[in-house]
Structures are given as C-alpha cells and as structure tokens.
C-alpha cells in the first residue's frame, strides 16, 4: 500500500509564537529557557497535527530558530571567524551570524530559489575543512527523541544535502572541490542519527533542479557515492521547485537511495523520465499536494499522476507527499471564519493539506466505488470554484485584450527624461533618500489594533496617522534627506495594503508565513480578476507633501511583486493575472501624477525572485514581467521621475533586461555584498540612475560614517558618481527609531562628505 509523507512544517507558530519569543529574547525581555520552551511547543504542535491526520512519515529537524540552511552549515562547522568560528557555542553566537552586532556584519541574505523565503548564505573558502559539531548535531537528535516520545511511527530527520549546501554558499573559487570532504561529514551525521534511532533520513537537494554542468553532476555523484557507501539508514533524496534534468536522473539511477522525491505540482512533465530512472526497488515520493499555494487540491488531477506511478511500480513503492515543505503556507484555513464560506471552501492551508495527503493515500488503493465516495466532497469544491462568477470580470479582460505595443512605452527617451527631471527637482549630487517605510512602532501597531476592535473611531485613527506622517516628515528634514517619504504608517504590508483596495483579493486573519528570521508576512489571496475601484495612495501622498517643500515620493508596489507575494490563483496563466494588476497600478500612477507628485516609486522587490529556475523558461518570464512594469509607468510625463526598488536578489545575469524596465532610478541591495553586486555595471553602461543600498536594514547594527563613505566610494568605482543615489537597501519598517536616526544621520553625513569628489567626477 502507498504511504504518506510531509517534507516539512511551517515554523513561525500558528499564532506567531516563535516570532514573539525570538523578539522577546533579542530585546532582553525573555530568557533562553522561555524561548526554548516556545520552540518545543511549536514542534509538538506540528507532530500533533501530523499524527492526528494519520501521516505515515513526519519530518524532524526541519525546525530552525532563524534559518534551516544556516543550521546545516553550522552543523558542519561552516561558521565565519567574525562569528566565532568552530568554537562558537550557543544561541547568542548563532544569532550573531543572523543579525550581526556593532562592528560585526551578519551573513548575506538572499532569496531561497524562487520563493519569498530568505536564507542566510553560508561562507566557505578554498580548502575549507568540515567538522561535525556535536552541540549542533544535538538539534536533530533531540527533535528525533521528541517525536519518538510523542508516539510518531516514522519520524524522519531532514537536512539540506551536501550538493545544495555548497551550491547555496559563497566564497570558494572551486566550490565543487569541497563536496567530497563535506560528504564524509554527512556520513558521520547519518551514523549518529541511526544510533539515535532514525530509520531513514531526508536529504533535501533542491539545487539539483537547476541547470547543471557535467562537472557539477560528477560532483553530486561523488558526494552521494561517498555518503551512501554503507549508510546505516535509508536515504530519501528530495528535490522540489522544478524538474530534475535527465543528466541528473541518469546518475540517480545508479545510486543506492531508498526513495526519490520529485515535485509533480511544479513539474508534472518530468514523471515519465523519473519513472524510467528510478533505482531498482526504490520508492518514488510523489509531490502532488502544493506546498507553496493555498488552493484545495484537485483530487482527480493528483490521482491521475499517482495512478500512473502505481501502475508502473506498484503502490507499495509509492509515497504520497507534499511537493515541498509546508514552510511556505499558513497553518489552518479552518480558522479563517472572516472569509465567506464559498471562498474558504476553496482553500487548503497546512493542516488541510495533511488531510488531503491522507485522503489521496487512501484513494490510491481504493476501488472505483470507494474512490468516488472518498472524493465526493473534494470534487464538489473544485467544481464550485471553476463555475463561480466571482473569478471572472469581463470588463477587466476586455481592457487587457485591447492593449497595444504603444501602451508599454514612455513618450521620451531616458536621457531626455533625466534632463527634464534634473531641472524640475534641482537635487544635489549623490541625492539621499530612503526606500519607503519608517519604523512600525508599537504605538502604530496598537493604534491599528484598537481601530480593528472599535476602540478608535475612523476619525481618531486618521488623526493619529496624520500625526505620524508629520513627525516622519519633520524627522527627515532634521536629518537632511533630500527626497522624503511619508513613512507608510497606514500600511500593514506593502502588498496587503494594495490588495485590500483592489477587487479580486481576499485576506486571511491568521495566514502568516515566514519570510526570514522572525519576519512573517500575510500574503493576500488573489482569487479573481483584478481591478482598482478608486485611488489608493493619493490622499496620503498629498497630505505628506503639504508638510514640506522637499519632494515626497509617491510609493507603490509593482505588479510582479504583488503577484509574487500573494497566493495567486492557479486557474489561469500568471502573466494574465500580472497584466491585470499592472493596469490597476498604472491608474494609480496617473492619479498621483495628476495630484502633483514629481517622483513615484514602483517597487519591484520580487522581480528577480520570480525568474524561473530553468534557463529555457526565463526569457518568456522576463518579457512579460518587464512589460507589466513598463505598462505601469508608460503614461507618466518626462519630468515625472519613476523609481523602482529591488530587494535581496542577485540579478547580474538580468542586467540588460533590468535596463529594459526603463525606470529613471533603480535602488538595489548591495551593502551585505560590499558592493560586489555592482560588478555587473562594470561591463554594462546602465543608462539610468542607481541607488545601491549602503545601509543594511536587516541588522540592528548602525554603520559608521567611515563605513558608509567607503561603500559610496566602492560604488563610484563601478558607476559614475553623477548616476548615484545614496539610500538604505530596503524599507525601515522593522527597525527601531534610535538606530534608524543614527544610521540615517551617518548616511546623510557620508553623502555630504563624498559630494565634493562626486561633483568633480
């Protein structure tokens, strides 16, 4: 008979318990014992959910206080010397790598494949040695014992595999040469897990779905031949997010793995090739439940794939699984009583996905009549969603269909626009600004809560927000920033705020997912065609601009980012949905410009994030994603300056396409990489202006004036100073005011100190 498995759980807690505990610990308001107790409670909750659903194989060791990639790197002694090296012990040293401290920079952070999760980038070097650290190994042993004590039949330790760990790291000139030594470390860990009672282990190798060279595949084969030689437990080789190339599958065929997992939600087309390459007697773990989206599974579509597998290898060699870890979805849609019954019936969050796994596993071996009985309710849900009128708006579809090539282009070339903008704005060399948000203080969050509970009237809440905007404008003027923002106190989230004002979106109350560390976001649920009933930001921009004579940016979130950071409908191509969002944002740009905004920022933080993992699929995505951005700004006049911002994304291979955005100014993250991300601009003469973020806002440390001057100078070595802006690398929402003031004061001072040289260049 088939068995069921889940690859990983969310870890922030159903009520964000871990977030509160982490932030309490970091602030000194909670001790380590209380933090650890909260973490045990979160893990126990996961095991309880899986056990109650009857899932056969449950993950252990997938829990992390901050990031699972970092946990595995530290397990093998990959700890930077500035963070204590292999002698570092305890959570304070661990969090130093995550968050840094005054005078100590944290690890770089970047996107986890094409998701909105961020991981800490391990730092390795040529000749790196690997050493299994017993105190780090204790995490997996402890979590295994917890599961055994809870009565879990098959708890399976989860680790990022050696190939992906090296692929996700930075620093070595010949990283593939490190894999054999690392594989010996994995052998030690597998032996320790077997001694602790594990019968099988899950080694996650998502990097295998990337385009591979023969040399990389050789390195993968070497690593697994080494670690599987005499392995004392069964190894499940786990891939997800895209298809495994035939080059890799050809090598997998000869490896003594017990199970291979593939993602049949993202890449169902790989199934035949996978079945043809499955090692003799190995199980196939079929990822047919979407671990990255919130829609109820179409049981017949999933069973079509499962039936093909069972017919080929027998159901006794089949594992019915989630496509990837459930890290990327919220906990339970049953709690979302604020959603109407029809929409809520279409949803499946983490807990419901466990039930779907159990249901499909039973259905695999059921007779036709039994299957019909088992699937009746699920089939009704799918039929309801397909037939619902609320997913289609003919006016929206007609407007999108009527677009022509002229609708995607600004009227004047970039050089003419920049000249007109320079005359209008009159900014100094190296103009200073911020990315948009200012600290979301406890006072702001409390006012939002009180308004929700009816303790503040709408008039009182608006008066509170107006005062917040006044203070933020005054603070920026005191600091001496050249281009201001209103601080966004009215916005709970840069995507949710817009989704709340657009048709086609719905919102959960408890639908939090982890973005990084203690940072959780609550993505909108994009279920239908998108349109804008009316202006969304104009009133707040107009109020902020009335408080100052300096330019205030209009702040918008771009269509690709809204798409990427929402749970998007899966019943039509993503590009069609993105185009609808772009039309709504274009209307907002026109209204802001009509109100007098001289600068409008359209953030596309997730542009690089959405890039397909396979090179063959990237050109089409880049085309439509950039077209959608261009559509938002096309109608703006030449003297209106359009900015865009891109977060932690390595986009060197996209630099020419990013130029095609035709934004007047782009701002990017470059501080954690010491401006290395700007190397792409050495060989490519970017035509617009650039703000390379020089202040890393994801760490509480305050950079010195000298450090910031150095980063500006490094940037000027790659980009002409006349094109440079000076700004943080992202919004300041998560920071506290004292550090924000000090850091921005240093940033303004560094820009002022560097301007004389910039003026001469």
In a domain, 585, yes or no: yes
In a domain, 402, yes or no: no
434 neighbors 732 (Cβ within 8 angstroms): yes
Beta-carbon contacts of 680 under 8 Å, excluding residues fewer than 6 positions away, are 651, 652, 655
Q: Give the DSSP H or E segment for 45.
A: helix 32-53
- Distance in angstroms (rounded) separating the CA atoms of residues 88 and 298: 48
Q: Which two tokens stand for residue 340?
A: 């109407």
CA quadruple 320, 212, 648, 506: dihedral sign: negative
| Residue 681 phi, psi (nearest 5) | -85, -5
In a domain, 411, yes or no: no
Beta-carbon contacts of 246 under 8 Å, excluding residues fewer than 6 positions away, are 273, 277
Q: Are residues 529 and 384 in the same domain?
A: no
Beta-carbon contacts of 446 under 8 Å, excluding residues fewer than 6 positions away, are none
Q: Are residues 689 and 577 in the same domain?
A: yes
Per-residue model confidence (pLDDT) at position 653: 67
448 neighbors 464 (Cβ within 8 angstroms): no
Q: Are residues 498 and 425 in the same domain?
A: yes
Per-residue model confidence (pLDDT) at position 63: 97
- Distance in angstroms (rounded) separating the CA atoms of residues 61 and 417: 54
In a domain, 398, yes or no: no
Q: Are residues 199 and 307 in the same domain?
A: yes
Among 374, 389, 404, residue at a domain's last position: 389
Give the mean pLDDT per block of 10 residues along the chain (761 residues): 97 96 96 97 97 97 97 97 92 94 90 93 95 96 97 97 97 95 97 97 98 96 95 97 95 96 98 96 97 98 98 97 98 96 96 98 96 96 91 93 96 96 96 95 94 94 97 98 97 91 95 94 94 97 98 97 95 96 98 98 89 92 96 96 80 76 88 65 82 84 92 87 92 92 96 83 59
Give the per-residue SS3 of 107-128. Answer: CCEEECCCCCCEEECCECCCCC
Q: Are residues 348 and 487 in the same domain?
A: no
- Distance in angstroms (rounded) separating the CA atoms of residues 49 and 46: 5
Q: Are residues 289 and 426 in the same domain?
A: no
What's the whole-model pTM score?
0.88
Per-residue model confidence (pLDDT) at position 699: 79
- Distance in angstroms (rounded) separating the CA atoms of residues 231 and 321: 24
Q: Smallest Cα–Cα separation from 294: which of 504, 558, 113, 513?
A: 513
Q: Are residues 178 and 327 in the same domain?
A: yes
Per-residue model confidence (pLDDT) at position 686: 83
Q: Which domain holds residue 292?
A: 3-389
In the numeric block, the tokens 């470390």 are attached to 185
Beta-carbon contacts of 250 under 8 Å, excluding residues fewer than 6 positions away, are 277
Per-residue model confidence (pLDDT) at position 592: 98
Per-residue model confidence (pLDDT) at position 78: 96
Looking at the DSSP bridge assignments, the partners of residue 644 are: 666
Per-residue model confidence (pLDDT) at position 757: 76
Per-residue model confidence (pLDDT) at position 405: 94
Q: Which two tokens stand for residue 351?
A: 């807990």
670 neighbors 696 (Cβ within 8 angstroms): no
- Distance in angstroms (rounded) separating the CA atoms of residues 284 and 156: 16
Q: Smallest Cα–Cα separation from 8: which of 329, 377, 286?
A: 329
Count of residues making up the chain: 761
Per-residue model confidence (pLDDT) at position 542: 98
Tally of domains in the chain: 2
Per-residue model confidence (pLDDT) at position 247: 94
| SS3 category, 104 | strand
Per-residue model confidence (pLDDT) at position 610: 87
- Annotate 645-665 with DSSP letters as a single string: EE-S---GGGHHHHHTT--SE
Per-residue model confidence (pLDDT) at position 201: 98
Q: Smallest Cα–Cα separation from 292: which of 261, 254, 274, 266?
A: 266
Per-residue model confidence (pLDDT) at position 657: 81
- Distances in Å between the Cα of 710 and the Cα atoms of 153, 205, 585, 675, 681 are 57, 38, 37, 10, 18
Per-residue model confidence (pLDDT) at position 675: 65
Per-residue model confidence (pLDDT) at position 673: 61
Q: Are residues 744 and 607 in the same domain?
A: yes
Strands 318-322 and 283-289: parallel
- Looking up residue 644, the CATH number of its domain turns out to be 3.20.20.210
Q: Are residues 374 and 461 in the same domain?
A: no
Q: Which two tokens stand for residue 694?
A: 């020089």
CA geometry: angle 529, 658, 604, nearest 5 deg: 45
Q: Are residues 244 and 322 in the same domain?
A: yes
Q: Which of 83, 328, 643, 698 is catalytic?
A: 698
DSSP summary character for residue 641: E
718 neighbors 673 (Cβ within 8 angstroms): no
Q: Are residues 450 and 593 in the same domain?
A: yes
- Distance in angstroms (rounded) separating the CA atoms of residues 46 and 262: 23
| SS3 category, 158 | strand
In a domain, 396, yes or no: no
In a domain, 404, yes or no: no
Beta-carbon contacts of 583 under 8 Å, excluding residues fewer than 6 positions away, are 396, 399, 400, 530, 531, 532, 631
In a domain, 410, yes or no: no
In a domain, 397, yes or no: no
Q: Are residues 437 and 345 in the same domain?
A: no
Q: Which two tokens stand for residue 169?
A: 């790291």
698 is catalytic: yes
Per-residue model confidence (pLDDT) at position 348: 98
- Distance in angstroms (rounded) separating the CA atoms of residues 450 and 1: 53
């Amino acid at each position: 008979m088939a068995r069921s498995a889940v690859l990983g759980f969310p870890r922030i807690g159903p009520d964000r318990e871990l977030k509160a505990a982490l932030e309490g610990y970091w602030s000194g308001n909670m001790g380590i014992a209380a933090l650890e107790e909260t973490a045990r409670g979160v893990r126990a909750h996961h095991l309880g959910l899986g056990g109650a659903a009857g899932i056969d194989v449950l993950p252990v060791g997938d829990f992390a206080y901050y990031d699972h990639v970092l946990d595995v790197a530290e397990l093998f002694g990959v700890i930077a010397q500035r963070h204590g090296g292999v002698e570092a012990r305890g959570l304070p040293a661990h969090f130093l790598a995550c968050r840094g401290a005054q005078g100590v920079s944290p690890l770089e952070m970047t996107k986890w494949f094409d998701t909105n999760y961020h991981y800490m980038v391990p730092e390795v070097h040529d000749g790196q040695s690997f050493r299994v650290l017993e105190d780090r190994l204790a995490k997996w042993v402890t979590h295994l014992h917890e599961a055994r004590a809870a009565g879990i039949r098959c708890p399976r330790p989860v680790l990022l595999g050696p190939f992906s760990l090296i692929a996700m790291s930075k620093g070595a000139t010949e990283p593939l040469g490190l894999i054999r030594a690392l594989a010996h470390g994995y052998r030690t860990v597998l032996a320790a897990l077997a001694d602790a009672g594990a019968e099988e282990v899950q080694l996650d190798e998502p990097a295998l779905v990337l385009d591979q060279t023969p040399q990389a595949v050789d390195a993968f084969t070497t690593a697994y031949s080494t670690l599987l030689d005499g392995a004392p437990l069964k190894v499940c080789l786990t891939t997800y997010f895209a298809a495994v190339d035939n080059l890799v599958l050809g090598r997998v065929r000869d490896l003594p793995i017990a199970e291979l997992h593939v993602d049949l939600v993202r890449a169902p087309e790989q199934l035949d090739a996978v079945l043809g390459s499955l090692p003799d007697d190995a199980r196939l773990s079929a990822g047919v439940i979407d671990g990255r989206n919130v829609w109820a599974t179409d049981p017949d579509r999933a069973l079509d794939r499962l039936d093909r597998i069972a017919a080929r290898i027998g159901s006794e060699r089949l594992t019915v699984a989630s496509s990837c870890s459930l890290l990327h979805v919220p906990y339970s849609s049953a709690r979302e009583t604020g959603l109407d019954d029809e929409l809520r019936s279409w949803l499946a969050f983490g807990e419901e996905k466990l039930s779907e796994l159990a249901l499909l596993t039973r259905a695999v071996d059921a007779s036709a009549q039994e299957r019909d009985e088992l699937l009746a309710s699920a089939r009704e849900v799918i039929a309801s969603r397909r037939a619902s009128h609320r997913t289609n708006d003919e006016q929206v579809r007609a407007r999108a269909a009527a677009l022509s090539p002229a609708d995607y282009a600004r009227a004047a070339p970039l050089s003419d626009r920049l000249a007109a903008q320079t005359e209008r704005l009159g900014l100094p060399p190296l103009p200073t600004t911020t990315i948009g948000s200012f600290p979301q203080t406890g006072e702001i969050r409390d006012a939002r809560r009180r308004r929700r509970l009816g303790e503040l009237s709408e008039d009182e809440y608006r008066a509170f927000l107006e005062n917040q905007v006044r203070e933020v404008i005054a603070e920026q003027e005191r600091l001496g920033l050249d281009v201001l923002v209103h601080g966004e106190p009215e916005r709970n989230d840069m995507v949710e705020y817009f989704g709340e004002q657009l048709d086609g979106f719905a919102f959960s109350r408890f639908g939090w997912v982890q973005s990084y560390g203690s940072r959780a976001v609550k993505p909108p649920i994009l279920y239908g065609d998108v349109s804008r009933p009316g202006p969304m930001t104009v009133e707040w921009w107009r109020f902020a601009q009335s408080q100052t004579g300096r330019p205030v940016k209009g702040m918008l979130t771009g269509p690709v980012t809204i798409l990427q950071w929402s749970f998007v409908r899966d019943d039509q191509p993503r590009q069609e949905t993105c185009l609808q969002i772009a039309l709504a944002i274009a209307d907002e740009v026109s209204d802001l410009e009509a109100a007098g905004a001289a600068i409008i920022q359209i953030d596309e933080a997730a542009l690089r994030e959405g890039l397909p993992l396979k090179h063959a699929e990237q050109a089409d995505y880049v085309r439509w994603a950039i077209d959608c951005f261009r559509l938002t700004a096309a109608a703006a006049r030449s003297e209106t300056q359009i900015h865009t911002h891109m977060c932690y994304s390595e986009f060197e291979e996209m630099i020419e396409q990013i130029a095609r955005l035709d934004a007047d100014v782009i701002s990017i993250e470059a501080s954690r990489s010491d401006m290395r991300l700007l190397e792409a601009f050495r060989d490519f003469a970017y035509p617009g202006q650039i703000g390379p973020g020089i202040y890393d806002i994801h760490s509480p440390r305050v950079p010195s004036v000298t450090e910031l001057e150095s980063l500006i100078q490094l940037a000027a070595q790659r980009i002409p100073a006349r094109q440079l802006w000076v700004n943080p690398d992202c919004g300041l929402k998560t920071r506290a005011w004292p550090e924000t003031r000090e850091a921005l004061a240093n940033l303004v001072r560094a820009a002022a100190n560097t301007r004389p040289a910039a003026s001469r260049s």
